[in-house]
Amino acid sequence: MKKILTILFSILFLATAAYAASCPALMKQYDEKVKSVKLDAAKAKQATEFRKQGEDFHKAGKHADSEKALKQALALLGVTVK
């Protein structure tokens, strides 16, 4: 039983760590793309707010919320992320 619990915990830990790693990659993708995209002031402000929210959520350990906000920021830049 102890062995099964150890295996399940390991799988859960690895999945969470992998999921958390996608946030910095999305932030980097945003930071690179924003340099080359021209947006109107309203969209630029909204994209910047989503980017900041994404980083704040990531720092708070809310990786699902972080990924959602970062994907919204990227969508405003015309980038589709699966």
Number of folded domains in the chain? Answer: 1
Confidence of residue 80 (pLDDT cuts 50, 70, 90): confident
User: Which whole number is the average pLDDT over 34-40?
Assistant: 92
Has residue 79 got a pLDDT over 70? yes
Q: Would 29 be classed as within a structural domain?
A: yes
Reported pTM: 0.74
Q: Would 15 be classed as within a structural domain?
A: no
Q: Would 11 be classed as within a structural domain?
A: no
Q: Would 73 be classed as within a structural domain?
A: yes
Q: Would 12 be classed as within a structural domain?
A: no
Confidence of residue 4 (pLDDT cuts 50, 70, 90): confident
Domain enclosing residue 64, as ranges: 22-82
Q: What is the pLDDT of residue 44?
A: 93
Q: Would 43 be classed as within a structural domain?
A: yes
Asked whether 71 and 30 are in contact (CB, 8 A), the reply is no
User: Which whole number is the average pLDDT over 4-28?
Assistant: 67
Say which CATH number the domain at 41 has: 1.20.1270
Q: Would 4 be classed as within a structural domain?
A: no
